[in-house]
Structure formats: C-alpha cells, structure tokens
Amino acid sequence: MHGSAPILPLLRPYLHRERLLETAVRLMEVHSPTRDAGAALTVLADILAEAGLDVSREDADWPSAPAVVAWLHSGKPGPVLQFDCHLDTVHLPFKPPRIEDGTLYGTGASDMKGGTAAAVEALRMLRELDLPARGSVLLTGHDHHEGPWGDKRQVVALCRAGIHGDAVLLPEYQAAWLPTAGRGMAIFRIDINRVQPPSHEIHTDPETPDVIGAGLDLVGQLRNLPLPDSPEESPAGRESLFIGKVQTGEIYNQSPQTCIVEGTRRWLQPGAGADARRQIEGVLTGLDARHGTATALEWEQQGDTFHLPADHPIVQVVQEVHTELVGRPLPDGPKLFIDDGNIYTAEVGIPAVTHGPDALGAHTVNEEVPVSELERIALLYAAAAVGFCQRPGNSAVSG
Ligand SMILES: [Zn+2]
C-alpha cells in the first residue's frame, strides 16, 4: 500500500474520535431536507476550511444551496480520488443528534452525515500526514440527492463542469458487500382522467368513463406486461415493474374523476429506460381507446444501469484496505438502490464505489450508526486515498 509498508498503523494515531463526532453533530444540528440543504452545506464548507482545505462553492444548478468543492492537493501530478457526500435528508420529522453508548442517533446519522463526517476526518488525517504523496483528494458536498424531492441535478452539474475525480467513493449506509452491478430505474405516475366531474352514482350516466375500471384494467395489464428476459446469472437482479400506490375515489357512492397509479420500473440493459417508457405509453393508448379516458404519464428516470469494473485500481485498493482492516475482502453483490454513483458512471464514466458505515434506519425517523463504524470508514477512506493516488498507472488527470 504505502510503499511496501502497511498504511493503517501510520494513519491510526491521527484518527480523532471526538473530532469526528463533533463534525457529525455540527452537520446534523442543521436540518437539511432535500432542496433546502444550503445552511448545512455552509457548515460543511466552514469545517473543511478550518481543516485547511482549499474550499469553494459551486451553484451546480441549485443556487440556494451551492455545492461544496474541497481539495487536498499533494502538489504533485497524479490521480484524483473523490469523496462524494450528499447533505440533504429525506422529508421526515427532524431528530436532533445524540450520542449514547457508542452510537450516534438522529436525522442523517445513517444517510449520510455520519459517513460525511468520517470522510472529513479522513481528509484531516491525510493533511496532518502530508499525504497523499502525489495526486489529490476531492470532497464534494451537495443537495438534491433524495428522490422524489431531488433530481440529482447538482451531481450532474458538477460532472458537466468537469468537477470530479478519476474514481469516487460514496459513504452511504452500505457495508456488507461491494455493489458491482445495478439496475436502471424510473419512478412512474399515471393519472387516468375523464372530462366529466365527480358525480353521485345515481346521477352518473352509464356511458360516463369509469376511471376505477380503467385503473383496474391498467394494473392488470402492467402486471402482465412482457418484460425483457433477465439472464439467470445477472448480478444486478431481474427486470421488474412494481406498483406501490393506487389512489382514487372520495366517498363510497361518488363516481370519481381521477385514478392515479404509481410505481417503479427497473431494467438491466444500459439505455433501456426509453424503451420501457414507450412500452407503458403503448398500454395507455389502448386504455384510453377502450375506456374513453385521458391518461397522463409522468416518468422520472432516477438512474441508468450501473457496473463497477472489478479490475479497476479503486476496487483493488478498497479491497486491500478492507482486508487489512477487517481480515477479508468485501463480497460482490447487487446495487439495490440508485445513488449518485450511477450518475458519475453514466455522466463521466468514472468508477463509483458505494461503501460506508454499517448503519441502520435510513429513510426512517430512527437513524443510528455505531461510532466504531464511523472510525472504520475514516481509516478506510484515508488509506484508500493514499493507495489510489500513489498507484502507478491510474488515469492521469492531474490534481
Ligand atoms: Zn444517502
């Protein structure tokens, strides 16, 4: 790793648990629901500037919460490793930070202010040790991650502005395996409408379009839609169409005007989102012809398929460090959720490793993360930066 010597014994004395926790608490004290993470990002920028990093802000297509861009330059050309952190949290009631019996609780503890604090601590350790010896480490912090409130526009804008590394680590709550393959995914919402307003059942002409009948027809058709084959061996899983919400009607004897059907469509072939959308549009055309309704489809593509090349240096470095830390490499596994790594891979073709603390309760009001896991991630990120930046043969973007 570091020359021929193991890097962890060198790093360990520079890991400060109290400093890491103070960082986490400062980030968590500022509530930052998606699209409103500006104040929390300002706290992150202050923390990174206090740590001696070269910090700037970029609007990144969301001027009310400019993204944080912080560099740790070695001063010598070499690869750039990026830590990418979203500071926005899902729209749930705020729980203030609290540390009890070696566990950090509160909004963002898992997703992902805890992991962000660990990444910040890694940068502090590196800076104090004058590492990496070549190349640079880049930390980006941003809003607009959590759907459906956010649309990932800030990561897209950073990519399009050329602000990214040669590889990226994302400290999400994913610790048990290395996500190497993932499906593309879109959230759909179909509104089945009729022109006629809601009416009492006894005043409703039998010829009036029945949006509940159309909705049942639609649900049946979507469930039986022939999906592309899913190869047995596909590590990402299977093609799917899932319906999670059907909403219609106001009271028992009123004929409603609207029926709404919502769900997800996940696919295995890169770029297949457009075909998947067209297939559903075909179903809707037939539906309107049969029922006299007018349907509208909203299609929010969250990300395309994901692939992490196993032979890329960042994967090798993470596996080496993980083995040094816990005695074994991470097993390969599917990427179950779409995260910003999908965007980095699709937009600029860089490998994205999602690995963070083994935390609980993401997307609930009961987030918690063991402090020992935050320490593990700080060490892993610092060691991975040393290993990746000094490894010969990594792509040659200079830092
Ligand atoms: Zn997250």
Give the Å distance between the CA of 57 and the centre of ligand 1. 21
Instruction: Judge whether residue 302 has pLDDT over 90.
Output: no
Write down the pLDDT at residue 5.
64
Give the Å distance between the CA of 200 and the centre of ligand 1. 46
Domains and CATH numbers, the chain: 8-181+305-390 (3.40.630.10), 184-302 (3.30.70.360)
Give the Å distance between the CA of 312 and the centre of ligand 1. 24
Instruction: Judge whether residue 396 has pLDDT over 50.
Output: no
Give the Å distance between the CA of 112 and the centre of ligand 1. 5
- pLDDT tier for residue 314 given thresholds of 50, 70 and 90: very high
pLDDT digits (tens, 9 = 90+) for 106-150: 999 999 999 999 999 999 999 999 999 999 999 999 999 998 899
Give the Å distance between the CA of 4 and the centre of ligand 1. 35
Give the Å distance between the CA of 85 and the centre of ligand 1. 8
CA distances from 318 to 107, 325, 331 (A): 28, 10, 12
Going across the sheet that includes 167-170, the strands are 54-58, 67-73, 136-142, 80-86, 167-170, 352-354
Using only C-alpha atoms, the chain has a radius of gyration, in whole angstroms, of 24
Q: Are strands 167-170 and 80-86 parallel, antiparallel or unpaired?
A: parallel
Asked if 239 contacts 221 with a C-beta cutoff of 8 angstroms, the reply is no
Write down the pLDDT at residue 4.
47
- pLDDT tier for residue 6 given thresholds of 50, 70 and 90: confident
**Cα dihedral: 163, 168, 172, 174 (round 10):** 160
- Compute the distance between CA of residue 156 and CA of residue 35 in angstroms, rounded to an integer: 15
Give the Å distance between the CA of 255 and the centre of ligand 1. 42
Write down the pLDDT at residue 3.
47
Asked if 69 contacts 165 with a C-beta cutoff of 8 angstroms, the reply is no
- Compute the distance between CA of residue 212 and CA of residue 255 in angstroms, rounded to an integer: 9
- Compute the distance between CA of residue 130 and CA of residue 389 in angstroms, rounded to an integer: 13
Region of 75 on the Ramachandran plot (φ > 0 left; ψ -120 to 50 alpha; else beta): left
Give the Å distance between the CA of 1 and the centre of ligand 1. 29
- pLDDT tier for residue 394 given thresholds of 50, 70 and 90: low
Instruction: Judge whether residue 398 has pLDDT over 50.
Output: no
Could you say which DSSP state residue 91 is in? S
The token duo for 121 is 């601590």
Give the Å distance between the CA of 214 and the centre of ligand 1. 37
pLDDT digits (tens, 9 = 90+) for 219-271: 999 999 999 998 888 889 999 999 999 999 999 999 999 999 999 999 999 99
Instruction: Judge whether residue 344 has pLDDT over 60.
Output: yes
**Averaged pLDDT for residues 338-361:** 95
Give the Å distance between the CA of 367 and the centre of ligand 1. 12
- pLDDT tier for residue 337 given thresholds of 50, 70 and 90: confident
> Which of residues 392 and 302 earns the better pLDDT score?
302
- Compute the distance between CA of residue 43 and CA of residue 194 in angstroms, rounded to an integer: 50
Write down the pLDDT at residue 321.
97
Give the Å distance between the CA of 20 and the centre of ligand 1. 19
Give the Å distance between the CA of 227 and the centre of ligand 1. 29
**How far is C-alpha 366 from the chain's CA centre?**
19
pLDDT digits (tens, 9 = 90+) for 46-91: 999 999 999 999 999 999 999 999 999 999 999 999 999 999 999 9
Give the Å distance between the CA of 290 and the centre of ligand 1. 43
Nearest to 167, CA basis, from 332, 1, 357, 387? 387
